[in-house]
């Protein structure tokens, strides 16, 4: 069965104008954003439109082969300039990793550690809000994508990431952001799946960040935040990976 699905995928999607940086396959088209995710949110009264979400190519989101999202492909386009440098060893920490993304980073040959609070298919289980197992200034590159909207104390999480990052390190810290959200929503009374879907758009989220508040919190945690737009990166790779113009990468470094 698995063979037949793979064969179907090759016949239907392989070859074409795009090239997924995560799995290196040439492909005809990426999958659009999952409709079930949106319908679940919408039917519970979530008022925001997923077409107005930052760093999302709504029509061309997931790779049909490795299922990487456009944001993960964007991270790898950015990270490639560091990881392709074989003159030094980078120490990398990746939160809640996608399997294909993880494999792609490992292939560069640096020191890579995957982590998650609950999953067992990672190198180490860590709570981003309290990483007591990790010494100060351990990692050069940290990827914390779509994690802080799930955790009880995101400010503590940001401070912890700051603590374990080396002084010259960089962290990609991203959360779901909708352009129309003007202030962060977070309320402990939203304590059922239905209420979380209505207010945050997903039943395992515990807040919905507004962009300005998210940036303010990163600054308060001690970060300088560079906002990298797609046109500042390798243009051909951006095109091949269907990265939307609305994308913004938040690259955090330690404030001097």
Q: Which residues bind Zn ion (CB under 5 A)?
A: 20, 22-23, 63, 65-66, 68
Q: C-beta of 224: minimal distance to Zn ion in Å?
A: 32
Q: C-beta of 142: minimal distance to Zn ion in Å?
A: 23
Using the 8-state DSSP alphabet, how is residue 85 labeled? -
Q: C-beta of 68: minimal distance to Zn ion in Å?
A: 5
Q: Closer to Zn ion at the Cβ: 61 or 165?
A: 61
Q: Closer to Zn ion at the Cβ: 31 or 179?
A: 31
Q: C-beta of 9: minimal distance to Zn ion in Å?
A: 11
Buried b or exposed e, range 123-151, using 16+ CB within 10 angstroms: eeebbbbebeebeeebbbbbbbbbbbbbb
Q: Which of 3, 22, 19 is nearest to 11 (CA)?
A: 3
- Kindly provide the residue ranges of all beta strands, DSSP E only, lying in the chain, ordered along the sequence: 14-19, 26-27, 91-95, 111-116, 124-125, 139-145, 165-174, 223-228, 249-254
Q: C-beta of 23: minimal distance to Zn ion in Å?
A: 3
Q: Closer to Zn ion at the Cβ: 20 or 249?
A: 20
Neighbour-count burial of 52, counting CB atoms closer than 10 A to its CB (0-12 exposed, 13-18 middle, 19+ buried) = middle
Q: Closer to Zn ion at the Cβ: 102 or 184?
A: 102
Q: Closer to Zn ion at the Cβ: 73 or 150?
A: 73
Please name the residue that has the structure tokens 């080396």: 166
- Residue 45: count other Cβ atoms within 10 Å of its Cβ: 11
Q: Closer to Zn ion at the Cβ: 27 or 41?
A: 27
Joined tokens for residue 107 = 């292939």
Q: C-beta of 195: minimal distance to Zn ion in Å?
A: 35
Joined tokens for residue 123 = 């190198």
First to last CA, the chain: 55
Q: Closer to Zn ion at the Cβ: 97 or 201?
A: 97
User: Pairing between strand 139-145 and 91-95?
Assistant: parallel
Q: C-beta of 25: minimal distance to Zn ion in Å?
A: 6
């Amino acid at each position: 069965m698995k063979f037949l699905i793979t064969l179907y995928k090759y016949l239907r999607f392989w070859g074409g104008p795009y090239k997924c940086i995560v799995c290196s396959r040439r492909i005809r088209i990426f999958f659009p954003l999952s409709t079930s995710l949106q319908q679940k949110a919408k039917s519970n009264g979530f008022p925001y439109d997923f077409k107005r979400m930052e760093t999302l190519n709504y029509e061309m989101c997931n790779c049909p082969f490795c299922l990487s999202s456009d944001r993960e492909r964007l991270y790898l386009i950015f990270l490639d300039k560091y990881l392709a440098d074989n003159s030094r060893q980078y120490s990398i920490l990746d939160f809640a990793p996608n399997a294909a993304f993880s494999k792609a980073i490992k292939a560069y040959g640096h020191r890579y550690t995957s982590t998650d609070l609950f999953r067992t298919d990672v190198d180490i289980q860590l709570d981003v809000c309290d990483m007591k197992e990790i010494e100060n200034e351990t990692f050069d590159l940290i990827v914390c994508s779509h994690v802080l909207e799930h955790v009880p104390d995101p400010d503590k999480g940001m401070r912890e990431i700051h603590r374990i990052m080396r002084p010259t390190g960089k962290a990609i810290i991203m959360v779901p952001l909708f352009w129309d959200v003007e202030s962060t929503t977070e309320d402990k009374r939203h304590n059922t799946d239905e209420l979380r879907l209505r207010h945050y758009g997903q039943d395992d989220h515990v807040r919905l960040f507004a962009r300005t508040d998210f940036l303010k919190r990163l600054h308060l945690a001690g970060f300088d935040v560079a906002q990298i737009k797609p046109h500042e990166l390798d243009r051909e790779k951006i095109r091949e990976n269907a990265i939307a113009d609305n994308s913004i990468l938040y690259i955090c470094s330690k404030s001097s």
